[in-house]
Structure 1
Amino acid sequence: MKGFHHWGAGEPLGGVRISGRAVPGRRTKRILPRLGPGTIPIVDHENLDRLTAEALVESGVPAVVNAAPSANGAYPSQGALILARAGVYILDGVGRKVFERVSEGDEVELRGDALYCGGRLVAAGERLDQETAERRLRESRAAVGAALERFARNTVSFMREEQDLLFSSLPVPGEVAAEIRGRHVLVVVRGYDYREDLAALRPYLRDLKPYIIAVDGGADALLEAGWRPDLVFGDMDSVSEKGLAAARRVLVHAYPDGRCPGAERVRRLGIERFDTLPAPGLSEDVAILIADQCGAELVVAVGTHVGLVEFLDKGREGASSTFLTRLKVGPRLVDAKGVSKLYPARVSAAQLAALAAAGLFAASAVVYSSDRVADIFSLLAVKLRLLLGI
């Protein structure tokens, strides 16, 4: 594309020139839908998380300008390394003044460690290449112990404020409760490995037909995988208009005091029929509690956050609502994270050979005895499902 240039490992810093249309945004996830190969996002994202970095790589942007440090060493965030390995140029720590000097759609150019707009220098920072990102990741691993101690202390502190999650009854709309009762419920969050896990769960979705709750951007994840959510729940800060329109019901997560900023966005998108649900805790945790309270037989979670790095990537100082939720739901909750690694969807050569043998056997049986055709085809169908994992 005219105007931008990918940097190479052997290219001198001063020779780097990358140009494109600026897309500034203090919240990275809100500008992701507007990014493409000819754009340069300008963000304010301290400790770039893996999920955001992967989305930036997928968008095809040649460079990322970050007002904040992309990896400050507080914990092992992987985003900067993911971008660097993908060949995305990172201009790091340029400061927040850049948002006052660059507007949406401005033509900007990166020259080495500086950002220009209309030929004028507007910001300067540090080039964060793969070697530097790897070094910062190694150094940050030494801080894991301190980060874990702070996280555990905050979790216990927040639990005192959110302990009502264990005992309170959520004001779930009666229609939703009636639809969930006695069924499997799939809760989908657009978190780590959601694509792989949704692909691995395709047979489960097809055969069991669970009630599907999408948490915010989980609605778009489902549409991408070819499924439609029964309910979209959350504060509505990361779901697209298409994702909202695809849902049969919309339930907006409100603060315990009744304030509901997400309702304004839903109305702006032209959706008039929706309910609100005030509750403490994170939307993904409340979605699981909704399923449990409404009498779900089993709750299967996709993309939910577990582990220290994932929590810190989300900017969470503790995991009180997550801990309390899992304590309350207990064995009725199944986390699908990693299921794609347990049950890979690839078909091996041995499986294909066995499938061919099964087909020949069925054909021979049809010739031998036409009276047994129905039974044979039933047996073949069972073999196919076992061999292919469908």
Structure 2
Amino acid sequence: MKVPTAFSARLPRLRRARPDGTNGVVAPVRADRRTKNLTKRLRPGDIAVIDHVDIDRVSAEALVECGVSAVLNTATSISGRYPNLGPQLIVEAGIPLVDEVDPAVFSRLEEGERLRLEGGILLRGDTVVARGVEQDEASVEAAMAEARAGLAVQLEAFAANTMEYLKRERALLLEGVGVPDIATSIEGRHVLIVVRGYHYREDIATLRSYIREYRPVIIAVDGGADALLEAGYRPDIIVGDFDSVSDRALTCGAELVVHAYRDGRAPGLQRVTDLGHQAVVFPATGTSEDVAMLLADDAGAALIVAVGTHATLEEFLDKGRAGMASTFLTRLRVGGKLVDAKGVSRLYRSRISPWTLLLLAGACLLTIVVAAYSSPAGQVYMTFLAVRWDAFLYWLTGLLA
């Protein structure tokens, strides 16, 4: 299974040779058991230490975009449960990936200290800090092949999770019971839901003319709010548990909807309160992108356009959690209104190049000049312009004299 080249083609080859001629990395080390938390602190060139079973593609893209020089994983990057895409993306970018590192490494490191990685060994001077199994493209491809062989088991588990979710949330899915009221007016309008997921940058760029013309209500899901601000847009509503969104986004003026557990616990509500804001609480079992879609549908959206959300079976499994069954059913619920922007950037490309536009502008200018010389009125106007040009040159010459 090859990782799509639209992203990987622009990735730098980050492996570097040391001055003594050996292959290795000497860089600051930063560690966190949660990858999404670590990517907020990483700087270009850092060695990232994580604890992430089955690295998914979104997490891998985040690590690569941070410019890390190596990734050390205390877990197994490909466990064999399903063919997750993240490890292949990392190794194809030329970033050393070391698996099954001793979990005690988290207690042995100081944030930001410079250490040396030689193959699968992390060194402080000549002292071994941790060891692991270095992966390469061949080993990752072999692990992916084994994972694909067991895909049928994962499909059965996914189907079972889907039925279980339907039993628990049938009232919400079928009748909209439990969807809270919001202040933002959505009735009869288009809604754009942005998740910081697959191809979100390309899709946002492709939809610029659509956003300008239809002015949809923009709902951001967690980190999607920061993606929108980076693209020059302000979300109208932000939905999520708020563990991967910045304070800048939460205070941008958008209405806030906290995704809570089914029992009412809402960890993200405290953060909103600390910032001096209020939020609507939406208890639901599914994912935050499900909550956003159900919210838009219940509020009467005429059309829902999704950016960065999960659309294919490969993406559902790549997320690697049972909760993705809710996204599958939610899409069935809102399917009549839902348009997925994923792939639009690859399907459509403007065929008008800048050089073509310049040539067209030059042709128009030449046409105007020819038309002016061909008519009496145009000749009078051109004579007037020539006189004014001569006067300007005379004035300029006087200044320089």
Instruction: Tell me which interval the TM-score lies in, with the shorter structure as reference length.
Output: 0.7 to 0.9
String of CA shifts for 1:291-342, please: whole Å, max 9, x gaps.
1111111111111112233223222225432233223223111111111122
Q: Which moved more, 1:307-316 or 1:280-289?
A: 307-316
Alignment of 1:1-390 (within 5 A): 6-7=15-16, 15-117=22-124, 119-165=126-172, 166-176=174-184, 179-268=185-274, 270-317=275-322, 319-345=324-350, 347-348=352-353, 352=357, 355-356=360-361, 359=364, 363=368
String of CA shifts for 1:194-226, please: whole Å, max 9, x gaps.
111111111001111100000001101111222
In the aligned structure 2, how far is the partner of 1:112 from the partner of 1:31?
22
The 8 Å contact of residues 176 and 298 in structure 2, kept in 1 or not, is answered as no
Change (3 A) 1:156 1:102: same
How far did 1:356 drift? 4.5
How far did 1:352 drift? 4.0
- Residue 399 of structure 2 is matched in structure 1 by none
In the aligned structure 2, how far is the partner of 1:138 from the partner of 1:247?
48
- Residue 398 of structure 2 is matched in structure 1 by none
Q: Which moved more, 1:122-131 or 1:186-195?
A: 122-131
Change (3 A) 1:363 1:343: farther
Q: Which moved more, 1:199-208 or 1:306-315?
A: 306-315
How far did 1:118 drift? 6.1
How far did 1:244 drift? 1.7
Change (3 A) 1:51 1:362: farther
User: 1:139 is paired with a residue of what secondary structure?
Assistant: helix
In the aligned structure 2, how far is the partner of 1:76 from the partner of 1:366?
66
- Amino acid aligned to 2:197: G
Pair member with larger Rg: 2
Q: Which moved more, 1:210-219 or 1:258-267?
A: 258-267
User: 1:191 is paired with a residue of what secondary structure?
Assistant: coil
- Amino acid aligned to 1:239: V
In the aligned structure 1, how far is the partner of 2:151 from the partner of 2:207?
33
- Amino acid aligned to 1:301: A
- Residue 378 of structure 1 is matched in structure 2 by none
User: 2:264 is paired with a residue of what secondary structure?
Assistant: coil
What is the TM-score when the length of structure 2 is the normalising length?
Answer: 0.81
- Amino acid aligned to 2:66: S
In the aligned structure 1, how far is the partner of 2:85 from the partner of 2:114?
29
Q: Which moved more, 1:286-295 or 1:156-165?
A: 156-165
Structure 2 unaligned segments of length 5 or more: list them: 1-13, 376-401
What is the TM-score when the length of structure 1 is the normalising length?
Answer: 0.83
Q: Which moved more, 1:186-195 or 1:275-284?
A: 275-284
Change (3 A) 1:164 1:351: farther
The 8 Å contact of residues 49 and 78 in structure 1, kept in 2 or not, is answered as yes
Structure 1 unaligned segments of length 5 or more: list them: 370-390
In the aligned structure 1, how far is the partner of 2:192 from the partner of 2:30?
35
In the aligned structure 2, how far is the partner of 1:146 from the partner of 1:366?
74
In the aligned structure 2, how far is the partner of 1:332 from the partner of 1:29?
31
How far did 1:168 drift? 3.2
The percentage of aligned residue pairs carrying the same residue is 48
- Residue 388 of structure 1 is matched in structure 2 by none
String of CA shifts for 1:77-129, please: whole Å, max 9, x gaps.
12111111111111111132222222322332212211234653222110111
In the aligned structure 2, how far is the partner of 1:236 from the partner of 1:197?
23
In the aligned structure 2, how far is the partner of 1:313 from the partner of 1:129?
20
How far did 1:346 drift? 5.3
String of CA shifts for 1:151-186, please: whole Å, max 9, x gaps.
12222222212222222334434412xx21121110
